[in-house]
Amino acid sequence: MTEQEIVEALQRENDEFKKVYQEHKQLDGLLAEMDKKHYLTPEEEFERKRMQKEKLLKKDKIAELVRVYKRHNNNN
């Protein structure tokens, strides 16, 4: 099973994964919008860094859920 197939299966079968994946994509979009600006206020820069950290935490959670899925399905 490819990584993409695992992600698709988890999106269908695992509510926690689906939520974290959607939040990760939303943060990605918000950061892309911020990156279009030529200048960020100090408050915007702070918020951008906060969102980057949150996005990274969500990416780590996605990777963890994929690892658990692989481990569980390789043992069957």
CA-to-CA distance for 58 and 45, rounded, in angstroms?
20
Q: Give domain status of residue 54, yes or no.
A: yes
Q: Give domain status of residue 16, yes or no.
A: no
pLDDT in tens, 25-45: 999 999 999 999 999 999 999
Per the CB < 8 A criterion, the answer to whether 16 and 37 are in contact is no
pTM of this prediction? 0.87
Per the CB < 8 A criterion, the answer to whether 1 and 46 are in contact is no
Q: 10, 1, 9: which is closest to 65 by C-alpha? A: 10
Q: Give domain status of residue 17, yes or no.
A: no
Rounded to 5 degrees, what angle do the CA atoms 66, 60, 34 make?
125
pLDDT in tens, 5-24: 999 999 999 999 999 999 99
Q: Give domain status of residue 35, yes or no.
A: yes
